[in-house]
């Protein structure tokens, strides 16, 4: 994935080449396709140092939707496929299939965790989703190991779970704010890896997404909240204080992404400065993982023809 000044800039100007009108009246050139599945293009390599400054927060991959209108349309067009795959996943669970999917959303304040839930997860049947937003631990939660509250929020067979923040807060804010001894935080990385490996072994597809937001874009979004009285409820003065700790948070993320990127539970870095691109990317990642699972509707365990005859005679 190229930095902002490369792929991101090309997405604004050169992006017109995707799906643009031909000089001949009524002829439209097809939009280019991604050169590989998105999960391969956005996936962090395992076991390598992470430098977030080398990833563009507004980059657009070649072959991806090139502008907002194309991105919104592509995201909406994927909704029927997502909903159908979700239904198949849930239907398969009624016949004993234990597979499920967990989407973990991490990122700085205003990076779009809640927006993703609204604009992407909103396409799904809510009865088949389990959504949990992790805030500061309650008094009860502080009395347990840090993974206790996470275990209680995991999706059941056939469900899609969504974490708005997650167990990674215990190696992110805990590291930046010195909320735990460094030795304890170091231990948590390994505990997280063991935990996620156990989830994968139990049939959970773990999709971890880091929403990569730029410092400048966060300022713009925070100002938007301050300038709109209808959004004051979303603003926390502590967000300004956290901006002073931006380098420390970026470093904490780099360490967590490096230490906890595994083959079974990889991390994906999604550029988050463009909301429409973020939504398209996460929707595509979800669809690709569900397609890979390829859940099937279970076969009837009753005589369909006999039931039909009985019903017609009633």
Q: What is the pLDDT of residue 160?
A: 99
Q: What is the pLDDT of residue 250?
A: 98
The domains found in the chain, sorted by start residue, are 4-19+26-295 (3.40.50.300)
Pairwise pLDDT comparison (1 vs 223), residue with the higher score: 223
Pairwise pLDDT comparison (150 vs 9), residue with the higher score: 150
Q: Is the pLDDT of residue 6 over 80?
A: no
pLDDT band at 24 (very low <50, low <70, confident <90, very high): very low
Q: Which of 7-16, 31-40, 177-186 is least confident?
A: 7-16
pLDDT band at 145 (very low <50, low <70, confident <90, very high): very high
Q: What is the pLDDT of residue 12?
A: 37
Q: What is the pLDDT of residue 1?
A: 44
Q: Is the pLDDT of residue 277 over 50?
A: yes
Asked if 57 and 212 count as a contact pair (C-beta separation under 8 A), the reply is: yes
Q: What is the pLDDT of residue 85?
A: 98
Q: What is the pLDDT of residue 28?
A: 38
Q: Is the pLDDT of residue 20 over 80?
A: no
Q: Is the pLDDT of residue 7 over 50?
A: no
Q: What is the pLDDT of residue 144?
A: 98
**What's the mean pLDDT in 31-48?**
92
Q: Is the pLDDT of residue 23 over 70?
A: no
Q: What is the pLDDT of residue 114?
A: 95
Q: What is the pLDDT of residue 299?
A: 96
Q: Is 2 exposed, middle or buried (0-12, 13-18, 19+ CB in 10 A)?
A: middle
Q: Is the pLDDT of residue 4 over 60?
A: no
Q: What is the pLDDT of residue 244?
A: 94
pLDDT band at 72 (very low <50, low <70, confident <90, very high): very high
**What's the mean pLDDT in 142-164?**
98
**What's the mean pLDDT in 307-312?**
98
Q: Is the pLDDT of residue 19 over 50?
A: no
Q: Which of 9-13, 97-101, 223-227 is least confident?
A: 9-13
pLDDT tens, 193-216?
Answer: 999 999 999 999 999 999 999 999
Q: Among 205, 196, 193, 198, which residue's Cα sits nearest to residue 97?
A: 205
pLDDT band at 159 (very low <50, low <70, confident <90, very high): very high
Q: How far is it, in rounded angstroms, from Cα 216 to Cα 114?
A: 20
Share of the chain above pLDDT 70, in %: 90
Q: Is the pLDDT of residue 155 over 90?
A: yes
Q: What is the pLDDT of residue 8?
A: 38
Q: What is the pLDDT of residue 32?
A: 61
Q: Among 199, 197, 175, 173, which residue's Cα sits nearest to residue 186?
A: 175
């Amino acid at each position: 994935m190229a930095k902002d000044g490369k792929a991101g800039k090309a997405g604004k100007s050169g992006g017109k080449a995707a799906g643009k009108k031909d000089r001949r009246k009524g002829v439209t050139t097809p939009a280019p396709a991604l050169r590989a599945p998105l999960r391969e293009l956005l996936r962090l390599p395992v076991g390598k140092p992470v430098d977030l400054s080398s990833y563009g927060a507004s980059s657009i991959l070649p072959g991806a939707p090139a502008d907002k209108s194309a991105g919104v349309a592509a995201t909406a067009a994927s909704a029927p496929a997502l909903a159908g795959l979700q239904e198949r996943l849930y239907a398969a669970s009624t016949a004993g299939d234990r597979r499920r999917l967990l989407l973990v959303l991490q990122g700085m304040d205003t990076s779009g965790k809640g927006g993703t839930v609204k604009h992407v997860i909103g396409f799904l049947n809510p009865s088949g989703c389990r959504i949990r937003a992790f805030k500061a631990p309650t008094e009860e939660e502080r009395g347990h190991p840090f993974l206790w509250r996470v275990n209680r929020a995991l999706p059941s067979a056939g469900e899609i779970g969504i974490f708005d923040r997650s167990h990674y807060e215990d190696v992110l804010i805990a590291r930046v704010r010195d909320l735990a001894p460094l030795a304890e935080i170091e231990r948590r990385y390994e505990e997280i890896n063991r935990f996620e490996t156990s989830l994968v072994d139990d049939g959970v597809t773990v999709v971890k997404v880091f929403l990569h937001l730029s410092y400048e874009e966060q300022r713009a979004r925070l100002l938007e909240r301050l300038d709109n009285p209808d959004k004051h409820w979303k603003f926390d003065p502590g967000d300004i204080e956290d901006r002073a700790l931006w380098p420390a948070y970026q470093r904490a993320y780099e360490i967590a992404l490096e230490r906890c990127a595994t083959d079974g539970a990889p991390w994906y870095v999604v550029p988050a400065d463009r909301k429409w691109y973020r939504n398209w990317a996460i929707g595509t990642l979800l669809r690709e993982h569900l397609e890979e699972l390829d859940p099937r509707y279970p076969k009837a365990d009753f005589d369909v023809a006999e039931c039909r005859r009985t019903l017609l005679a009633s």
